[in-house]
Amino acid sequence: MFSDGVPAKEIARRQELTLEAVYERRYRWLEKGVLGLSDAPRSGAPSKLSPEQVAQLKIWASEEALTAMALLTRLEEKFGVRLHRNTLTGVLKRAGLVWKRTRHSLKKVR
């Protein structure tokens, strides 16, 4: 887009990026060419679950209303993987499932 004369602000708007991100990508393009556009390795721990395990969790959570502890127990029994409850809920949220706790009593009506 730069070669077509499109201003950086317009590129940022079209690509839904910050102006800084547009200039950073242009700099990498000019310095390294196409190879500069690929993402750099990210920091952080690798995923604790394989795609197969995440798919199985989605199936279990979709088929019946299970508690986090029940899902964790099934995961450990089938795959031998132990997770913290917060890790499990994060995995399910990233998989597109909504995780809500069950209310055990109704609100009082005045």
pLDDT tens over the chain, length 110 residues:
888 999 999 999 999 999 999 999 899 889 988 888 777 777 788 888 999 999 999 999 888 888 889 999 999 999 999 999 999 988 988 888 876 666 666 666 66
Location of structure tokens 């913290």? 84
Rounded distance, CA 85 to CA 27, Å? 42
**What tokens appear for 3 in the block?**
């070669």
Tokens representing 107? 């609100």
